[in-house]
Amino acid sequence: MSDPVDLLLRGARLPDRDDLVDIAIAGERSHIHLDKVLLTDRVTATAGTLEEAIRVTGQAKRGFTVEDITSRARRVLDLAVRAGTTAMRSHVEVDPLVGLTGIEAMLALRAEYAPALDLQLCAFAQEGIVQAPGTEGLLRRALSMGADLVGGCPYNDSDAIEHIRIVFGLATAFGVDADFHVDFSDEPEHLHVREIAAQTVRAGWQGRVAVGHLTELAAVPGFRQDELVAEIAGAGLGVICLPATDLYLMGRQDELNVRRGLTPIKRLLNAGVPVALASNNVRNAFTPVGTADLAHMTFLAALAAHMGTPAELRALLAMITTHPARLLRLADYGLTPGSRADLVVWDCARAEDVAATLPARTLVVKRGRVSVEARHETVDRWRAP
């Protein structure tokens, strides 16, 4: 006699199979800033540059409260869960401007949303560490309070190398992963990813470090890209591409042939580097639009990164599922027997249809329990009966 099951999906098509299967009883988001979502009604950004976005958001942070962050983050978490997100890494800013307010708010939300998604909290030094005295101590306190990992932003500090060293020192001292915003420019003026790769190997932290944005990689010649990608792959780094933010902020000084501003996704994938797509920001000075739906990121990347073949469209689906799960180091993730029962049911016939058609999600399952059930009905009333 077979074991009883709580949920049975019949006639499902898995991303890597053509035949239909029955599943007895998942999307993963690797980079978002929940503490500064939904700020378009209180910040004014007219230039649309990264520098302006950091400046006006820094001004707004002075007024953040636990209640304010909680209210805004909860609205976006609800959107993400309904869109099929079952795990998420949120960067939470920790600095003398905002203190630990964001961490306090997000720790409570992590517990509140545990039935629907796994929420990782990254204590993040957006304002720098060296140029913002007191930040290193705040990062230590955030990690002691329960933050899951530490994040750095070396391009926004007076001493990038020391910034990276401090982040790795915290990561190794607390035994946590590290996640950097890195090389976020149209020109190859930083290329701090090389130092991050070197320190990753030195610390023995291969497979535990992610880098986001990395737009400068696209600004060097192809042969140089190959050299840098080899260093990235050799250090076991993961890369997070953020199409909405990067398309919006990059290329602002270009008058002709405006650059797309994305890291070279296909080159990284071809070298075996795990690449994830993520939302990054939702309706603020860094990204004025957004619905927290990762499928939209696959749609954007298909166009902006020239990924339109069936195989490339399937790769985009992996970039919001299996690749971010690897970067988040989720245990027992996948659709093989015995994996944890986190899954999303899309109303489409093939894996490539997710990026191509943005289909509806009919079920979202977390740990074997249905967390979201959606019913969609459209009536074409213009047609004759």
pLDDT band (50, 70, 90) for residue 307: very high
Tell which phi-psi region holds residue 292, choosing left (phi > 0), alpha (psi between -120 and 50) or beta: left
pLDDT band (50, 70, 90) for residue 19: low
- Give per-residue pLDDT as tens, 183-228: 999 999 999 999 999 999 999 999 999 999 999 999 999 999 999 9
pLDDT band (50, 70, 90) for residue 276: very high
The pLDDT of residue 194 is 98
Query: What single-letter DSSP state applies at residue 127?
Result: T
Can you spell out the DSSP letters for 90-114?
EEEE-BTTTBTHHHHHHHHHHHHTT
Query: 361-366 and 209-213: which strand pairing?
Result: unpaired
pLDDT band (50, 70, 90) for residue 1: very low
Report the C-alpha gap between 44 and 47 in whole angstroms: 9
pTM reported for the whole predicted model: 0.90
The pLDDT of residue 79 is 96
Q: Is 286 a residue whose pLDDT tops 50?
A: yes
- Give per-residue pLDDT as tens, 133-154: 999 999 999 999 999 999 999 9
Over residues 75-90, mean pLDDT? 95
Mean pLDDT of the chain: 91
Domain spans in the chain, listed from the N-terminal domain onward: 8-25+337-373, 28-327
Over residues 30-38, mean pLDDT? 85
Report the C-alpha gap between 259 and 250 in whole angstroms: 7
Over residues 98-126, mean pLDDT? 97
Tell which phi-psi region holds residue 11, choosing left (phi > 0), alpha (psi between -120 and 50) or beta: left
H or E stretch including 317?
helix 310-318
Over residues 270-291, mean pLDDT? 95
- Give per-residue pLDDT as tens, 344-367: 988 988 999 999 999 999 989 998
Tell which phi-psi region holds residue 146, choosing left (phi > 0), alpha (psi between -120 and 50) or beta: left
Residue 293: count other Cβ atoms within 10 Å of its Cβ. Answer: 22
Name the 3-class secondary structure at 362: strand
The pLDDT of residue 3 is 41
The pLDDT of residue 221 is 97
Query: What single-letter DSSP state applies at residue 360?
Result: P
The pLDDT of residue 204 is 98
Q: Is 23 a residue whose pLDDT tops 60?
A: no
- Give per-residue pLDDT as tens, 160-174: 999 999 999 999 999
Task: Return the minimum-mean-pLDDT range out of 86-95, 125-134, 269-278, 334-343.
Answer: 334-343
Pick the CATH number of 28-327 from 3.20.20.140, 2.60.40.420, 3.10.310.10, 3.40.50.40: 3.20.20.140
Q: Is 60 a residue whose pLDDT tops 50?
A: yes
H or E stretch including 122?
strand 118-124
Task: Return the minimum-mean-pLDDT range out of 128-137, 256-265, 296-305, 344-353.
Answer: 344-353
The pLDDT of residue 173 is 99
Share of the chain above pLDDT 90, in %: 74
Axis-axis angle for helices 160-174, 135-145 (nearest 10)? 20
